[in-house]
Amino acid sequence: MKTESNKYLWWQQGIIYQIYPRSYQDSNADGVGDLKGIISRLDYIKELGIKAIWVSPVFPSPMADFGYDISDYKNIHPLFGNLNDFDQLLQEVHARDMKLILDFVPNHSSDQHPWFIESRSSRNNPKRDWYIWKDPKPDGSEPNNWQSMFGGSAWQWDGNTSQYYYHSFLKEQPDLNWRNPDVQYAMLDVMRFWFNKGIDGFRIDVLWHLMKDPEFRDNPVNPDYRPGQPSFNKYIQVNNSDGPDVLEVVRRMRMLTNVHKDRVLIGEIYLPLDKLMKYYGQHNKGVHLPFNFLLLSLPWEADKIAASITQYEAALPPNGWPNWVLGNHDQVRIASRVGLAQARIAAMLLLTLRGTPTIYYGDEIGMHDVPIPEEEVQDPQGLNMPELNVSRDPARTPMQWSEYRYAGFSPHKPWLRLPDNYKRLNVSVQEGRRLSMLNLYKRLISFRQKEPALMVGSYTQVYADKQQLAFLRTYGKTQFLVVLNLTHRPCYFKPKDFRFSGKIELATYPEPEGKMVKNVINLSGDEGVIVRLHDAR
Ligand code: GLC
């Protein structure tokens, strides 16, 4: 449909799809996914209706944190292929009128990066100050109480040079010192390198961590800490991240990005709303999309979710474009969090809210977290805190393509196991079934993409209670009413002060589609509908 909605940019109109490259498609039979594998699945992604693919890190790495520990920012890990394969991937993505977003990990490198090897070699090395080195306290203990996100102190003693270095994550992931201008230069140069290759944007890893308190003050004790939580919860995370000058760095990244036409920056930021919004930057000079993770953490309750959507909408800066995320490689999968029946509602919510949706690979077929036996756990978060059941492996298992051995992911035993039920839960089975999750996703996406009201229209909440949530999406004269039942029990949508009539265009199960409704909708448990309104009120 040709409308004024064409004035919106691709990352405002389109849908982003996250690929965890180890687990998408293996092309060389080593049990690990790779770039050629992704290329072979581009037609599937295109058919799904995706605009942009975000690929988690594919750079050389010792894999202590599965690629989020980079030892060379300007190359490709041989496990995934090489720079030629990368160029081919980029070209094939563009040939399908899609976009490619890479993962940029600026907060820390691998301890095997030549910069860190130099930095730790002596106190006088020119790269010493590229990382964060501190003397011990007089009693020999750590410089402050900051904790690693993966458990234990964030300070690692280096006997060779008798100082501690700082690592927000693993000790194999030393934090770079972003207050050093040479570090800034080198890292911005990494962005330039990939932009010059023609990529369309970056998802920036733990963006709010780049700047810490310049005085390295202790974090305050968290009075709500309960034993059984990770050690970083003992303290309120205020001084170890989100430092006052982080926005200046973000602004520089944005300036560099603006030199290249039509690119996007997406920031991974887990912060409360007021702090999150700052990352749009003054006059929108920050990242285009600070990831909005509200739906990942809220209890699955209609009134709470409705209130949060309203708060988020109200908090957005002028011209700040919203976005929504239901899952990623660090979180429990949506089908495991809310169950399969509600995962259909979640899909409808994600694809009817105002703002750019990000879909995590496999969620479109309702993949669930896979139980990984203790002796097979690989994620360092799981290994370091075994008693807390926080391994991220279950949400990172190979894509389930077909009923063939190893689900068509690889002819070789995959790096993480598949679930027992992959023979019935896979793309090829779902392609043939009208009522499958995959077909629901496809229908929702294609409907959203041809209706400007859903794609870019305004959002107005209409009603919410303990069970249901309803809102309007409006563009010009077109208006849709979305009503979602977030429980398994039936309910009546019959708001007192909102009169409506229209036709149900799309539903989580197709039976009600085509029906006319007026001022009341009787919803089944786990049912959601999109109604095209005849006339507002
Ligand atoms: C981000 C990544 C996560 C990684 C961490 C450290 O949160 O999403 O997977 O472990 O950063 O790089």
Q: Does domain 457-536 have CATH number 3.20.20.70?
A: no
Query: In the prediction, which pLDDT does 1 show?
Result: 46
| Atom of ligand 1 lying closest to residue 69 CA | 12
Q: How far apart are CA 63 and CA 77, in angstroms?
A: 10
Q: How far apart are CA 84 and CA 76, in angstroms?
A: 9
Instruction: Please indicate whether residue 175, judged by its CB atom, sits closer than 6 Å to ligand 1.
Output: no
Instruction: Please indicate whether residue 169, judged by its CB atom, sits closer than 6 Å to ligand 1.
Output: yes
Equal CATH topology for 4-109+181-446 and 457-536: no
pLDDT (mean) for 57-75: 98
Query: In the prediction, which pLDDT does 228 show?
Result: 86
Through-space distance between the first and last CA atoms of the chain, rounded to whole angstroms: 26
Instruction: Please indicate whether residue 34, judged by its CB atom, sits closer than 6 Å to ligand 1.
Output: no
Residue ranges per structural domain of the chain: 4-109+181-446, 114-166, 457-536
Instruction: Please indicate whether residue 64, judged by its CB atom, sits closer than 6 Å to ligand 1.
Output: no
pLDDT (mean) for 108-124: 98
Helix (H, G, I), strand (E, B) or coil at 147: strand
Residue 537 has pLDDT above 70, yes or no: no
Query: In the prediction, which pLDDT does 5 show?
Result: 63
* Closest CA relative to residue 113, chosen from 123, 122, 101, 121: 121
pLDDT-based confidence at 323, cuts 50/70/90?
very high
CATH level 3 topology of 4-109+181-446: TIM Barrel (3.20.20)
Contact of 409 with 26, CB cutoff 8 Å: yes
Query: In the prediction, which pLDDT does 175 show?
Result: 99
Residues labelled as active-site residues: 205, 268
pLDDT (mean) for 189-194: 98
Instruction: Please indicate whether residue 364, judged by its CB atom, sits closer than 6 Å to ligand 1.
Output: no
Nearest CA residue ID for atom 3, ligand 1 = 330
Mutate to test the pocket of ligand 1, among 68, 269, 296 (most ligand atoms within 8 A of CB): 68
Distance 479 CA to ligand 1 centre (A): 39
461-498 tens-digit pLDDT? 999 999 999 999 999 999 999 999 999 999 999 999 99
Query: In the prediction, which pLDDT does 3 show?
Result: 53
Distance 111 CA to ligand 1 centre (A): 16
Residue 316 class from Cβ within 10 Å (0-12 exposed, 13-18 middle, 19+ buried)? middle
349-404 tens-digit pLDDT? 999 999 999 999 999 999 999 999 999 999 999 999 999 999 999 999 999 999 99
Thinking of the domain 114-166, which architecture would CATH place it in? Answer: Alpha-Beta Complex (3.90)
With b meaning 16 or more CB within 10 Å and e meaning fewer, what string describes 201-239? Answer: bbbbbbbbbbbbbeeeeebeeeeeeeeeebbbeebebeb
Query: 227: which 2 tokens?
Result: 């034993």
Residue 172 has pLDDT above 80, yes or no: yes
Question: To which residue do tokens 């760095």 refer?
Answer: 249
Mutate to test the pocket of ligand 1, among 205, 209, 269 (most ligand atoms within 8 A of CB): 205
- φ, ψ of residue 165 to 5 degrees: the values are -115, 160
Residue 431 class from Cβ within 10 Å (0-12 exposed, 13-18 middle, 19+ buried)? middle
Type of residue found at 287: V
Pairing of strands 516-518, 501-507: antiparallel
Instruction: Please indicate whether residue 379, judged by its CB atom, sits closer than 6 Å to ligand 1.
Output: no
| Atom of ligand 1 lying closest to residue 108 CA | 12
Distance 201 CA to ligand 1 centre (A): 18
275-305 tens-digit pLDDT? 999 999 999 999 999 999 999 999 999 999 9
Nearest CA residue ID for atom 5, ligand 1 = 68
| Atom of ligand 1 lying closest to residue 392 CA | 9
Distance 267 CA to ligand 1 centre (A): 12
**Stretch (H or E) spanning 255:** helix 246-259
User: Which pTM value belongs to this model?
Assistant: 0.98
Instruction: Please indicate whether residue 330, judged by its CB atom, sits closer than 6 Å to ligand 1.
Output: yes
Distance 524 CA to ligand 1 centre (A): 39
Packed helices 181-197 and 83-95: angle between N→C axes, nearest 10 degrees:
60
| Atom of ligand 1 lying closest to residue 107 CA | 12
Residue 2 has pLDDT above 50, yes or no: no
Nearest CA residue ID for atom 12, ligand 1 = 68
